[in-house]
Chain A
């Protein structure tokens, strides 16, 4: 029976219980049951829960840290988002992302130090190097040896490990980026805490992540939402939960807004098609390599963005400057 053979091929991951990282409780309702629709790294079912207190969406149970190599396979897109793989889409994304990055970095000094936490293959660092000020000092952090290897080969300074454990200089950075990283990490408050310590007082942190207040989430949240990215996205936020997280980590909120992105739309549809067993010629119309779908949904999501409901949410946070205490009498 092919069914049974298939079953054994897709052995179970080691899964561990989790709780809401903001409230530190597990009082949550099940929201979605899904599978690894994109990479099929295991045959497990995954459960997305929503915290009844704060509304954070989180994966519970989730793979143990020993399983990271398995759930991020060789062909994982963040390890090789290159022009040769993604052609036209790559070019358009470069242009869009450069504009965004430079706008976040607009106030930085000439000698600013910028660190990209969860930099993957160094896509954003390369954009900053190629289009930002030549005097900026750029660094990255990533926990994947493969990603670090690719980034290093491109001449970037990338530290291998997780930001909480690395001995980086405290209060040394003007700007930190967490671009589609926070949803992947095990302990977001700990990561933000570590990043806060890296920042100079008044230094800024930009977080970009999937938005659970968007229309694509509303439509697909029962199973196929691209933002779940089962089982790799462990915590999913909206403006409210991002603010709560910042607060917990002692960071000030400067602004939280949404941003346009077609990716979750396209992947939600793709996941639904894959789940229904549609042929690959159809499912392949929806993915990072499909410019038409990406184009259509970029336009579509722009309309939602106008209503403040874009597919991504972006927070600009700041390490508080030391409060000047009045001298004691």
Chain B
């Protein structure tokens, strides 16, 4: 009998892989360092009727269908974004296009783009794509706030997967027509169409993980951080967890790349991953009286005098996340682990956000009910030019036979929940296909 496959991490990616292995009757052990499954897909509820997601707010009806949780999902009726600039709000993207300096700049950039060299940095790419005004005033400051790096130092691939204007127009219009939040820029692995929209599972996005984990329980080991992945001659041979080594035929890791680099023993091939950086993020969830306080679900604030770069009033999309007559606004603040923002007490961060929020919601302070802060050291991968070549090669393969790195952190890519599902499915299929052909041979 074949040695088991080790899966590291019981989040969406790890459980997707596990369900696929079980379907094919391949033995596996799923190691989860924490006390529960669901990882980034967890939802927290307080006693007062507010729910807080760890980033992953949306899933699509297509993902719900693939996992079989459609009946437990509600349709998200509306999703929209605005940009707050010089005291005014502009709908994204069409409101911005009504501003002459943006629209003329964008058209001119498009015309020039035909004979241009490929961009060498994210900043160049944004200028070529959106025109100078929109790039300098919106795209570049937002990218810098979100990544913590200069847009000149970021690889142009930062802009990959952002849908073109024609696509956006089609998707937004069909969303209006059908009163559904048609997904736009939320699925990169599979095409976005007017038939794919946002839904939200009852009780939170962790439902996906719970459904995938059904029947897998005996193979899931909680409280079991993997201490080492043993590699011999550039091939995985074992994992060590709880002080014990288990021989394995393959490892499917969802660990962040810099951690994967540390876990792998007996190889130098993963050393470049140690340089890959993730941007830590603080999410300040402000509880407020009223509803519809922001102009739309998401408001981008590219101006530097805002401590946050994005505000999200989730109940405008999903009314059930806050009690009636109240709302929840999440302010996203990029930071570094150990800096003053990372270490600030919750109430202080709440005050910091409220101060500047008054520029958009003048009576924010009177409405304020309190806040709850979520912190993550690994919110977004940062595509620095300095390791772009290594990143691209890693996107193809880990370079170690029998080692897959999947999931949002494991892939080091800007992917969403549905992408995690399809990509993991594809990669696991590719990993297994030589084995299965072997089985079929006489």
A32 B195 Cβ-Cβ under 8 A: yes
Of residues 36 through 95 on chain B, the ones whose CB sits less than 8 Å from some CB of chain A are 61-62, 64-66, 68-74
Q: Which of A1-17 contact B (CB under 8 A)?
A: 3, 7, 10-13, 15, 17
| Closest residue of B by beta carbon distance from A35 | B70
Q: Assess whether B429 is interfacial by the CB under 8 Å rule.
A: yes
Contact of B178 among A30, A61, A276 (CB under 8 A): A276
A45–B64 contact, CB under 8 A?
yes
Chain B residues near A252 (CB, 8 Å)? none
Q: Is A97 an interface residue when CB atoms closer than 8 A count as contact?
A: no
Contacting pair B71 A10 (CB below 8 A): yes
A43 within 8 A of B: yes
- Cβ-based interface call for B210 (8 A): no
State the CA gap A293–B65 with chains docked (Å).
Answer: 31
Q: A26-B429, A30-B190 are in contact. Are A47 and B71 (CB under 8 A)?
A: no
Chain B residues with CB below 8 A from A11, complex form: 71
B159 interfacial by beta-carbon distance below 8 Å: no
- A29 within 8 Å of B by Cβ? yes
Which residues of chain B have C-beta atoms less than 8 A from A254's C-beta? none
Instruction: Provide the bound-state CA to CA distance between A12 and B64, in Å.
Output: 12
User: B65 contacts A46, CB within 8 Å?
Assistant: yes
B194 contacts partner chain A, Cβ-Cβ < 8 Å: yes
- Which residues does chain A contribute within 8 Å of B422, judged by CB atoms? 30
Q: Does B193 contact A (CB under 8 A)?
A: yes
Q: Are B195 and A44 in contact (CB under 8 A)?
A: no
CB distance from A103 to the nearest CB of B (A): 39
Contact flag A44-B70 (CB < 8 Å), given A17-B23, A27-B429, A276-B178: yes
> In the bound complex, do residue A44 and residue B74 qualify as a contact, i.e. CB atoms below 8 Å apart?
no
B71/A33 in contact, CB under 8 A: no
Within 8 Å by CB of A45, from B19, B23, B73, B202, lies: B73
CA distance A210 to B74 in the complex (A): 31
In this complex, how many residues of chain A approach chain B with their Cβ under 8 Å: the count is 28
A35-B195 Cα distance, complex, nearest whole Å = 12
> Interface centre among A33, A44, A222, by most B CB within 10 Å?
A33
Whether A223 sits at the interface, judged by CB under 8 Å, is yes
Q: In the bound complex, do residue A7 and residue B61 qualify as a contact, i.e. CB atoms below 8 Å apart?
A: no
A238 to B195, CA, bound (A): 23
> How many interface residues does B have (CB within 8 Å)?
25
Q: Would you give the 0/1 interface string for A31-73, flagging 1 where the beta carbon is closer than 8 Å to chain B?
A: 0110100000011111100000000000011000000000000
Chain A residues with Cβ below 8 Å from B64 are 45
Bound-complex Cα distance A283 to B66 (A): 29
Q: Is the CB of A45 within 8 A of B61?
A: yes
CB-based nearest A residue for B68: A15
Task: Report whether B68 and A33 are in contact in the complex, using a CB–CB cutoff of 8 Å.
Answer: no
A30 touches B195 (CB 8 A): no
Residues in A260-307 with C-beta less than 8 Å from chain B: 275-276
Cα–Cα distance between A11 and B71 once the two chains are bound (Å): 6
Across the interface, do A30 and B69 meet the contact criterion of CB distance under 8 Å?
A: no
**Contact flag A30-B68 (CB < 8 Å), given A7-B202, A45-B73, A222-B194:** no
Closest to B19 in A: A17
Interchain CB contact (< 8 A) of B68 among A3, A7, A25, A61: A61
Q: Let me know if B65 and A47 touch, CB within 8 A.
A: yes
Given contacts A29-B190, A47-B62, A276-B178, contact A222 B195 (CB under 8 A): yes
B196 within 8 A of A: yes
Considering the chains assembled together, what is the distance between the CA atoms of A27 and B436 in angstroms? 13
**A3 to B199 Cα, complex, angstroms:** 13
A320, chain B: closest CB distance, angstroms? 24
- With the chains together, A176 CA to B177 CA distance in Å? 47
Minimum distance in angstroms from B314 CB to a CB of chain A: 17
A60 to B422, CA, bound (A): 14
The residue in B19, B74, B177 that gathers the most chain A C-beta atoms within 10 A of its C-beta is B74
Please, which residues of chain B bring their CB within 8 A of the CB of A43?
Answer: 70-71
The answer to whether residues A42 and B71 also contact, given A26-B429, A47-B65 and a CB cut-off of 8 A, is yes
A44 touches B196 (CB 8 A): no
Assess whether B71 is in contact with A3, with CB atoms less than 8 Å apart.
Answer: no
Considering the complex, which residues of chain B in the window 197-218 have a beta carbon less than 8 Å from any beta carbon of chain A? 199, 202
Q: 1/0 contact trace for B292-332 toward A, CB 8 Å?
A: 00000000000000000000000000000000000000000
Q: Is the CB of A30 within 8 A of B62?
A: yes
Residues of B within 8 A of A25 (CB): 429
Most B CB within 10 A of own CB, among A10, A15, A45: A45
A30 and B187 alpha carbons, distance in the complex (Å): 13
Q: Taking A7-B202, A12-B71, A33-B61 as contacts, is the C-beta distance between A47 and B194 under 8 angstroms?
A: no
Q: What residues of A have a CB within 8 angstroms of the CB of B190 in the complex?
A: 29-30
Bound Cα distance A288, B71 (Å):
27
Q: Are B429 and A30 in contact (CB under 8 A)?
A: no
List chain A residues, Cβ under 8 A from B196.
Answer: 33
Is A47 a contact partner of B66 (Cβ separation < 8 A)?
Answer: yes
Q: Which of B66, B68, B422 has the most CB of A within 10 A?
A: B68
B72 surroundings in chain A (CB, below 8 A): 7, 12
Chain A to chain B contacts (Cβ below 8 Å), 5 pairs: A7-B74, A7-B202, A17-B19, A33-B62, A45-B62
13 new A-B contacts at CB < 8 Å, known A29-B190, A30-B190, A45-B70: A7-B72, A7-B74, A26-B23, A30-B62, A30-B66, A33-B61, A33-B62, A33-B65, A33-B195, A43-B70, A45-B62, A47-B62, A222-B193
